[in-house]
């Protein structure tokens, strides 16, 4: 391990100044769970590490309008946030499954995104939640849609001297649900073979959506959806994102297009899954075979949309009849 300086600035501007003064040998470090590994593997040889842990301006979590999360917020803080669990559930699904609890306690979402691995778990949820990357630079902040932030493997749209400050997501109406499904070989401590996220907003003419039927408590979502068939639930808005099936996390835009405005059904989701599968470009690796990944995009797209729909129809905080008994 080569020798390096370790700097702990207290503000964003100080951090940027330190980076500029590092002669190109500075590396930002937040939770450190990626950076420390890269150093140990001798993949990077920083002259100095610039720690972002002491910067209060990177550690915010605001829910006043939509959702704003600082880049230095840890995965566990996001996973355990009840507001996010309710309103931005896909993000909960993802942050809950990154690495292990020990990793989630220190690893930050900013780090997960800036590392820009095709397998970054939080990327897909951010894509479907219409997140914007908030980027701080010398001349102030700028916002970039997260879809434009990923340029390729380990490449993001940060210019020299810039810091990813956080993420801003809009508020969604109460007829919106989201989900992320991480497909792994192990039930913990694993990278995704692939991941699929979906957000859907559904509409039913003139009525609130929600399952008032006692059977809802025990039946599976496929059957419930079938019972809603006559009521014509319409997909008002949809986002689908896929990870590990292309050089960067990507939206399945054709699939989204095909679903938007349509009356939803499981059969339709199946078709949507096939479209998504045709959009991705998976490859073979030691972690999974291309054909399998493509197949799973199909299956998991359907399941992710279904789960998102489920979360609209049967939100977790509904009081089920049996709990009243």
Of the two residues 102 and 154, which places its CB atom closer to another protein in the complex? 102
Min CB(289)–another protein separation in Å: 6
Q: Residue 14 corresponds to which tokens in the numbers above? A: 């100080």
3-state secondary structure string across the chain: CCCCEEECCCCHHHHHHHHHCCCCCEEEECCCCCHHHHHHCCCCCCCEEEECCCCHHHCCEECCCCEEEECCCEHHHHHCCHHHHHHCHHHHHHHCCCCCHHHHCCCEHHHHHHHCCCCCCCHHHHHHCCCEEEEEECCEEEEEEHHHHEEECCEECCCCCCEEEEEEECCCCCCEEEEEEEECCCCCCCCCCEEEEEEEEEECCCCCCCCCCHHHHCCCHHHHHHHCHHHCCEEEEEEEEEECCCCCCEECHHHHHHHCCCECCHHHHHHHHHHHHHHCCCCCECCECHHHHHHHHHHHHHHHHHHHHHHHHCCCCCCCHHHHC
Residue 276: C-alpha distances to residues 91, 133, 253, 298 (Å)? 21, 25, 8, 7
**CB of 120 within 8 A of CB of 112?**
yes
Min CB(43)–another protein separation in Å: 12
Of the two residues 96 and 176, which places its CB atom closer to another protein in the complex? 96
Of the two residues 13 and 54, which places its CB atom closer to another protein in the complex? 54
Min CB(296)–another protein separation in Å: 6
Could you list the residues that contact another protein (CB under 8 A)? 1-6, 8, 29, 32-33, 36-37, 39-40, 49, 51, 53, 76, 99-103, 105-106, 183, 185-191, 286-289, 292, 295-296, 299
Of the two residues 193 and 225, which places its CB atom closer to another protein in the complex? 193
Of the two residues 271 and 289, which places its CB atom closer to another protein in the complex? 289
Min CB(232)–another protein separation in Å: 27
Min CB(191)–another protein separation in Å: 7
Min CB(106)–another protein separation in Å: 6
Min CB(263)–another protein separation in Å: 24
Of the two residues 260 and 287, which places its CB atom closer to another protein in the complex? 287
Of the two residues 94 and 233, which places its CB atom closer to another protein in the complex? 94
Min CB(317)–another protein separation in Å: 18
Of the two residues 106 and 246, which places its CB atom closer to another protein in the complex? 106
d(CA 94, CA 243): 12
């Amino acid at each position: 391990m080569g020798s390096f300086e370790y700097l702990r600035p207290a503000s964003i501007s100080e951090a940027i100044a330190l980076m500029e003064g590092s002669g190109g040998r500075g590396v930002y470090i937040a939770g450190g769970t990626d950076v420390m590994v890269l150093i140990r593997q001798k993949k990077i040889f920083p002259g100095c590490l610039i720690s972002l842990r002491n910067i209060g301006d990177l550690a915010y979590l605001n829910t006043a309008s939509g959702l704003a999360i600082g880049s230095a917020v840890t995965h566990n803080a996001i996973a355990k946030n009840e507001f996010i669990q309710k309103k931005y559930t896909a993000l909960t699904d993802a942050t809950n499954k990154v690495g292990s609890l020990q990793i989630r306690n220190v690893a930050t979402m900013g780090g997960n995104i800036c590392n820009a691995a095709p397998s970054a778990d939080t990327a897909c949820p951010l894509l479907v939640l219409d997140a914007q990357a908030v980027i701080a630079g010398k001349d102030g902040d700028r916002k970039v849609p997260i879809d434009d932030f990923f340029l390729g493997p380990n490449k993001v749209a940060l210019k020299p001297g810039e810091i990813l400050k956080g993420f801003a997501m809009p508020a969604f109406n109460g007829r919106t649900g989201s989900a992320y499904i991480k497909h792994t070989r192990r039930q913990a401590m694993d990278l995704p073979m692939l991941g699929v996220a979906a957000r859907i907003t559904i509409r039913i003419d003139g009525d609130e959506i929600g399952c008032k039927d006692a059977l809802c408590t025990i039946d599976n979502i496929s059957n419930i959806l079938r019972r809603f068939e006559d009521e014509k639930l319409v997909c008002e808005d949809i986002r689908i994102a896929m990870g590990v099936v292309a050089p960067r996390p990507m939206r399945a835009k054709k699939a989204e297009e095909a679903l938007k405005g349509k009356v939803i059904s499981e059969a339709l989701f199946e078709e949507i899954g096939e479209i998504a599968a045709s959009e991705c470009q998976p490859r073979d690796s030691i972690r999974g075979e291309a054909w399998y990944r493509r197949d799973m995009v199909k299956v998991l797209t359907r399941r992710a949309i279904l789960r998102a729909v489920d979360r609209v129809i049967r939100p977790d905080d509904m009081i089920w009849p049996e709990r009243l008994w």
